[in-house]
């Protein structure tokens, strides 16, 4: 599903985010991406949805070479990928419902389908009592779930999450992880960037460890 071939990413200022990274993630896999801050986790994720392109090497997602893909194809790649951002990226002037349905509107789903999918995913994430609240009126955990709901509402093949439990208490973090496991059990490939070692141990899934932009260890925890 996702293949990195000798991927290196250098920024113009000279900083190196990734060095010669080669890795494969199979369809339906659940993978943790770990490493200290600045190890290149976020860059790794951003390359998958082509927010970044490699300086050298190749990134292939669902049989498409992401770097050489024409710009007009990028939106269609992104529709196959749900992303949960570390800072959530919610729109403060839109309600919980609008923030989530926004993603379905953008890809041009019929209005009825937009509503039914949004209700469905908000119910699944336990947010159906918060439909008309604005982001600032709900808790951090609920904002996190809003971000996950938006990533899931278009039924992506791949779900990427960048430190999704970073600012949640352990119980809530556990609950969110359970949610990712459920999503994965329906066939969605899931990659989660985190430095929460306890969490990784508890989940017992494959781990890709990055350190200073290089793969330092890969395999099951």
Partner 1 sequence: MGRLLRALRHCIRETWDGLWRNPALSLLSAAAIGISLYVLGLFLLLAFNLNRFVEALGRETQIQVYLREDATPDQLRTLRAEFASDPAISEARYVSKTDARQRFQRDFPTLRDLPGRVGGNPFPASFELEVLDASRDPEGLDRIAKSYQKAPGVEEVRYDRGWTERLAGMVGLVQKGGYGIGALLAFAALVTVGATVRLTVLARREEIEIMKLVGATAGFIRGPFMLAAAAQGLAGGALAVAGLRVTHRLVERTEIFRANPFMSIVAGRFLPSDAALALTAVGAALGIVAAVLSLRRAGSV
User: Are the CB atoms for 32 and 180 separated by under 8 Å?
Assistant: no
Distance between first and last Cα of the chain: 21
Question: What's the closest the beta carbon of residue 93 comes to partner 1, in angstroms?
Answer: 9
Closer of 57 and 82 to partner 1 (Cβ):
82
Closer of 103 and 209 to partner 1 (Cβ):
103
Question: What's the closest the beta carbon of residue 82 comes to partner 1, in angstroms?
Answer: 8
User: Are the CB atoms for 125 and 147 separated by under 8 Å?
Assistant: no
Question: What's the closest the beta carbon of residue 155 comes to partner 1, in angstroms?
Answer: 12
Closer of 112 and 186 to partner 1 (Cβ):
112
Q: How many CA atoms lie within 13 A of 101 on its CB side?
A: 18
User: Are the CB atoms for 214 and 17 separated by under 8 Å?
Assistant: no
d(CA 207, CA 32): 5
Closer of 87 and 182 to partner 1 (Cβ):
87
Closer of 108 and 219 to partner 1 (Cβ):
108
Question: What's the closest the beta carbon of residue 70 comes to partner 1, in angstroms?
Answer: 12
User: Are the CB atoms for 33 and 44 separated by under 8 Å?
Assistant: yes
Which residues are near partner 1 by CB under 8 A? Answer: 49, 51, 71-72, 75-79, 83, 89, 91, 102-103, 105-108, 110-111, 150, 154
Closer of 75 and 204 to partner 1 (Cβ):
75
112-130 as b/e: b if 16+ CB within 10 A? eebeebbeebbebbebeeb
CA dihedral (186, 202, 179, 93) in degrees, to 10, reads -140
Question: What's the closest the beta carbon of residue 135 comes to partner 1, in angstroms?
Answer: 12
Question: What's the closest the beta carbon of residue 34 comes to partner 1, in angstroms?
Answer: 23
């Amino acid at each position: 599903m996702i293949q990195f071939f000798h991927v290196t990413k250098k920024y113009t200022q000279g900083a190196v985010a990734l060095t010669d990274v080669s890795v494969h993630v199979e369809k339906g896999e659940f993978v943790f991406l770990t490493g200290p801050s600045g190890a290149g986790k976020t860059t790794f994720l951003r390359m998958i949805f082509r927010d970044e392109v490699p300086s050298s090497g190749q990134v292939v997602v669902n049989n498409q070479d992401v770097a050489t893909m024409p710009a007009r194809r990028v939106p269609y790649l992104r529709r196959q990928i749900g992303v949960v951002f570390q800072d959530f990226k919610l729109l403060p002037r839109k309600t919980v419902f609008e923030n989530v349905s926004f993603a379905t509107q953008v890809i041009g789903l019929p209005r009825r389908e937009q509503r039914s999918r949004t209700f469905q995913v908000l119910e699944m994430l336990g947010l159906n009592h918060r439909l008309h609240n604005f982001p600032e009126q709900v808790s951090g955990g609920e904002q996190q779930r809003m971000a996950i709901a938006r990533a899931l509402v278009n039924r992506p093949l791949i779900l990427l999450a960048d430190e999704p439990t970073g600012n949640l208490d352990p119980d809530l973090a556990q609950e969110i992880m359970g949610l990712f496991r459920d999503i994965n059990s329906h066939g969605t490939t899931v990659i989660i960037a985190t430095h929460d070692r306890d969490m990784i141990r508890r989940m017992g899934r494959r781990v890709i460890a990055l350190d200073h932009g290089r793969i330092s260890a890969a395999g099951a925890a």
